[in-house]
């Protein structure tokens, strides 16, 4: 059924006062593929509780995330803006202050707002706490590396959860229910984020085992909503921020490619009992970027001018274009970014070797039609280009947070150059053609994790022999040399990385350590000062800088 039919039914629903005060509950299950729910046709594991969130509601059959990474996807969800426009394109980037969000908009209209977070990737300092009166998130990771999309712990460990990257979904749910109990008679906006589907899993578990656990956990949550009188009067949304490749197209997890295995997400909306009957299924492609406008329209609240998504309740005469992207291969390795456009059954993945798929006939994107349908390929590329141009950010990219004095010190050492995301033009490698190198890099990470330094160094050198411009591999090589106490080799490797990524905290900090060990105290101080500027809350860099300054005196 087309979405404009949903509009006709909902506009005949309950009165204005009811819609404006309906509680709103949004549940995000991190890393959940749409096609692993029974409601979407999966048969290996039953998910009756998750499926039941579409009761007296709507299941959107073809919903896509705008990015296959946790923070960028949630940033698009809550700000109704594209990742390429809001520049939250990696997990380790910060939503700017004073950003207009769904939570802030609802709070300004009298809603009590709270979020209960299951993972460090939505940690408070990422900036998505804006608009939430309560942001229950015990993690305290203080160091960000946009180049690798990593977040590191670098603070005091007074809270045992501060050094962890996740907490169990049952804890998230129980905390949220306590908050609901304290705000029973008020309009509320509640956000829950569950991270149980994300690797690494508990010992003895796999993806479907975790799925069954999440199904039970949210089944308990739904029953609590029913018992507490929330279910019948609330808009309850169940979704995921992205999927998981599980080996499809050679990708083990997510974030590298933008095939449907990681972009397709479940989207189930339960409408309040007072609403008129709604279509059970909507097949038109939609994006998570459209959810915030949909909720605000249902609540009869004005749409912020910064929101660019479109309400799913509005009537349309033309198909909706849905876009997605991943720039991780570009940020980490200097290869081409990937962007997609979905229009009806067709999907374009724009890359040096573009791909065109008919998802109705080829849901697993195995048959590239680019050579067979050149006119359609060109038309969709032009449509994607128009979207990118229309929503191009008005402000220039954020510059380095180094002070002029700090920049001068680094410049005197020859280490100031554009960051990895600047100058993203020209011919770059297609990520499809670099899968062998990417897998080799993943192997090196396992070796580093297990302390096999010699093997990791040999693997990283092999990667760099094939691709000397692989900045992330070179950074990891420098870190491995540092751990191996090969300080001169560490300095050489890390200095080359800093030419490409002058704001990367990890590089600055490790280069400072290498210079200190080599007795180059002035250089060590310059790098550690820059590291402190890049991550002001990092206790290790502050302590190390103090030690170097004492030695200089």
The reply to whether 303 and 336 lie within a common domain is no
Report if residue 268 sits inside a domain.
yes
Hey, what are 225's tokens? 């909503």
The reply to whether 373 and 250 lie within a common domain is no
User: Band of the pLDDT at 277, cuts 50, 70, 90?
Assistant: low
The reply to whether 72 and 214 lie within a common domain is yes
Which range marks the domain in which residue 26 is found?
A: 3-137+166-313
Report if residue 226 sits inside a domain.
yes
Q: What's the predicted TM-score (pTM) here?
A: 0.88
The reply to whether 418 and 384 lie within a common domain is no
364: Cα within 13 Å, side-chain hemisphere: 7
Angle CA 111–115–120, to nearest 5: 155
Q: For residues 74 and 91, give the distance between their C-alpha atoms in angstroms, rounded to a whole number.
A: 10
Higher pLDDT, 425 or 237: 237
pLDDT score for 393: 80
The answer to whether the CB of 65 falls within 8 A of the CB of 74 is no
Domain boundary among 287, 313, 339: 313
Is 15's pLDDT higher than 60? no
Angle CA 481–487–489, to nearest 5: 65
Is 8's pLDDT higher than 70? no
What's the CATH number where 368 sits? 3.30.1120.10
User: Where is average pLDDT lowest: 16-25, 437-446, 516-525?
Assistant: 16-25
Average of pLDDT values for 369-374?
Answer: 98
The answer to whether the CB of 201 falls within 8 A of the CB of 156 is no
User: Where is average pLDDT lowest: 92-96, 411-415, 522-526, 529-533?
Assistant: 411-415
Higher pLDDT, 381 or 406: 381
- pLDDT tens digits, 64-116: 999 999 999 999 999 999 999 999 999 888 999 999 999 999 999 999 999 99
The reply to whether 41 and 78 lie within a common domain is yes
E-strand ranges in 93-149 read 112-116, 134-136, 141-145
The dihedrals phi and psi of 464, each to the nearest 5 degrees, come to -70, -25
What's the CATH number where 278 sits? 3.40.720.10
Report if residue 184 sits inside a domain.
yes
242 to 27, 245, 260, 436, 523: CA distances (angstroms): 13, 10, 9, 24, 43
Domain boundary among 366, 390, 414: 390
The reply to whether 181 and 50 lie within a common domain is yes
pLDDT score for 425: 46
Hey, what are 262's tokens? 């990681």
The reply to whether 462 and 339 lie within a common domain is no
User: Band of the pLDDT at 162, cuts 50, 70, 90?
Assistant: low
pLDDT score for 406: 44
Report if residue 258 sits inside a domain.
yes
Average of pLDDT values for 47-72?
Answer: 96
The reply to whether 373 and 304 lie within a common domain is no
- pLDDT tens digits, 169-183: 999 999 999 999 999
User: Band of the pLDDT at 352, cuts 50, 70, 90?
Assistant: very high
pLDDT score for 395: 56
The reply to whether 347 and 306 lie within a common domain is no
Domain boundary among 390, 415, 430: 390
Percent of the chain with pLDDT over 70: 87
- pLDDT tens digits, 302-315: 999 999 999 998 66
Average of pLDDT values for 237-255?
Answer: 95
Query: How do beta strands 264-265 and 63-64 pair?
Result: antiparallel
pLDDT score for 274: 79
The neighbour count for residue 525, using CB atoms within 10 Å, is 20
The reply to whether 127 and 261 lie within a common domain is yes
Is 375's pLDDT higher than 50? yes
Query: For the chain, how many structural domains are there in total?
Result: 3
What's the CATH number where 446 sits? 1.25.40.10
Order of strands across the sheet with 235-239?
134-136, 112-116, 188-194, 24-29, 235-239, 267-270, 57-60, 281-282
pLDDT score for 443: 93
The reply to whether 7 and 75 lie within a common domain is yes
Report if residue 148 sits inside a domain.
no
| Four-residue CA torsion sign, 27, 29, 34, 40 | negative
User: Band of the pLDDT at 154, cuts 50, 70, 90?
Assistant: low
The reply to whether 82 and 188 lie within a common domain is yes
pLDDT score for 280: 87
Report if residue 453 sits inside a domain.
yes
Report if residue 150 sits inside a domain.
no
User: Band of the pLDDT at 159, cuts 50, 70, 90?
Assistant: low
pLDDT score for 237: 98
- pLDDT tens digits, 399-452: 444 444 444 444 444 333 334 443 344 589 999 999 999 999 999 989 998 999
pLDDT score for 553: 83
Report if residue 513 sits inside a domain.
yes
């Amino acid at each position: 059924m087309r979405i404009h039919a949903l509009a006709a039914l909902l506009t005949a629903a309950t009165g204005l006062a009811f819609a404006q005060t309906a509680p709103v509950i949004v549940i995000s299950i991190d890393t959940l593929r749409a096609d692993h729910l029974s409601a979407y046709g999966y048969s290996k594991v039953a998910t009756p509780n998750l499926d039941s969130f579409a009761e007296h509601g709507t299941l959107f059959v073809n919903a896509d995330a705008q990015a296959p990474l946790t923070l960028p996807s949630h940033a698009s969800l809550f700000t109704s803006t594209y990742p390429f426009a809001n520049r939250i394109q990696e997990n380790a980037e910060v939503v700017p202050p004073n950003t207009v969000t769904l939570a802030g908009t609802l709070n300004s209209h009298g809603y009590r707002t709270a979020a209960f977070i299951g993972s460090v990737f939505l940690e408070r300092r990422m900036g998505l706490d804006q608009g939430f009166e309560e942001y229950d998130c015990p993690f305290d990771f203080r160091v960000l590396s946009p180049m690798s999309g990593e977040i590191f712990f670098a603070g005091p460990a007074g809270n045992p959860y501060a050094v962890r990257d996740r907490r169990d979904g049952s804890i998230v749910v129980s905390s949220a229910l306590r908050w609901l109990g304290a705000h029973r008679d008020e309009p509320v906006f509640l956000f829950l984020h569950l991270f149980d589907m994300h690797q690494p899993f508990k010992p003895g578990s796999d993806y479907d085992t975790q799925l069954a656990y999440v199904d039970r956990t949210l089944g308990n949550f739904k029953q609590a909503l029913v018992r507490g009188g929330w279910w019948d009067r609330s808009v309850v949304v169940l979704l995921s921020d992205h999927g998981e490749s599980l080996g499809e197209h050679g990708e083990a997890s997510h974030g590298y490619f933008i095939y449907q295995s990681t972009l397709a997400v479940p989207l189930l909306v339960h409408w309040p009992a007072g609403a008129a009957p709604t279509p059970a299924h909507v097949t038109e492609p939609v994006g998570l970027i459209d959810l915030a406008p949909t909720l605000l329209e249902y609540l009869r609240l004005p749409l912020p001018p910064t929101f660019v998504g479109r309400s799913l309740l509005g009537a349309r005469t033309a198909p909706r274009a849905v876009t997605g992207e991943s720039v991780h291969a570009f940020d980490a390795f200097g290869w081409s970014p990937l962007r997609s456009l979905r229009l009806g059954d067709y999907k374009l993945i724009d890359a040096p070797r573009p791909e065109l798929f008919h998802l109705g006939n080829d849901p697993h994107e195995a048959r590239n039609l680019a050579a067979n349908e050149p006119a359609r390929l060109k038309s969709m590329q032009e449509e994607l280009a128009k979207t990118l141009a229309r929503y191009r950010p008005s402000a220039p990219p954020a510059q380095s947070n180094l002070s002029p004095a700090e920049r001068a010190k680094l410049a005197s050492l020859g280490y100031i150059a554009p960051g990895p995301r600047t100058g993203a033009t020209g011919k770059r490698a297609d990520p499809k053609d670099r899968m062998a190198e990417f897998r080799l890099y993943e192997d090196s990470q396992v070796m580093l994790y297990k302390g096999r330094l010699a093997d990791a160094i040999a693997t990283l050198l092999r990667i760099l022999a094939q691709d000397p411009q692989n900045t992330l591999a070179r950074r990891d090589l420098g870190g491995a040399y540092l751990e191996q106490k090969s300080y001169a080799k560490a300095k050489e490797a890390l200095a080359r990385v800093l030419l490409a990524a002058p704001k990367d905290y990890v590089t600055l900090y490790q280069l400072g350590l290498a210079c200190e060990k080599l007795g180059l105290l002035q250089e060590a101080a310059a790098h550690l000062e820059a590291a402190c500027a890049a991550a002001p809350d990092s206790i290790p860099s502050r302590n190390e800088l103090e030690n170097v300054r004492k030695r200089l005196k």
